[in-house]
Amino acid sequence: MELKSEFRNKKKLITVGIIDTETANLKSVIFACEKIFLRVYLIKKYENISSDIDGLIFPGVGSFSFVIEILKRKKLDKFIFEFLKTNKPSLFICLGMQLLFSYSEEVKRSEGLNIFPGSSTLIPSNQNRKVPIIGWNTINQTNENDIFYGIKKNDTFYFTHSFYVLPKNKDLISSESEYCGFKYCSSIAYKNIYGLQFHPEKSSVAGLKIYENFKKLCLV
């Protein structure tokens, strides 16, 4: 576990653990956390530290099968399962959200963390719909939750992905987005587990608001 940033407000010390999958763009996530004065630990292998952190962030980017192998080899999957049992807030970004489900069809069928029944499936492409999706888009909130507090209907977020999640339990879906006529799940929420298909750390002011909301959840 490696300390990466110092919280500047000693009266409200909040520490978040960030899972290091060796593939994610950690610098952007760390920068977003530092921007709102979060203390950050990088979690590179299994450690019994769930009592020392107030929230957990799983960054996106990477291949589903490669990342799940890293998680199992370093027993980070065990750490995630143990942390979720604490009911402290957790934020799973892009690939992180996809890994929460049963399996993915990327390259080959790979088993996920199976926190929720469902799959990660390739976005259908055609002449007008190019894949991967890369760029800015809005989200249509279908269920209110605290992670989207203060987010406006026309706020845009940065997406970059080729796969989307298909939860068996549709009540998990907290927002949908549309891309060239194709509507898909762009976020999920269940108790203190939040998943985002977009990258809030790359989404300017609106994305930083997501991190601020996550910070407030860590205070509860």
Which residues are tagged catalytic? 94, 199, 201
- Which residue is it, tokens 């060796």? 22
Specify whether the CB–CB gap between 117 and 169 falls below 8 A. Answer: yes
User: Residue 141 has which token pair?
Assistant: 């909130």
From the list 78, 118, 79, the residue with the least C-alpha distance to 97 is: 118
* Backbone angles phi and psi of 68, in degrees to 5: -65, -35
DSSP class of 31:
H
Residue 174's identity, in one-letter code, is S
Specify whether the CB–CB gap between 146 and 174 falls below 8 A. Answer: no
Cα 81 from Cα 201, distance rounded (Å): 24
> What angle, rounded to 10 degrees, do the helices at 26-35 and 204-219 form?
70
Specify whether the CB–CB gap between 137 and 72 falls below 8 A. Answer: no
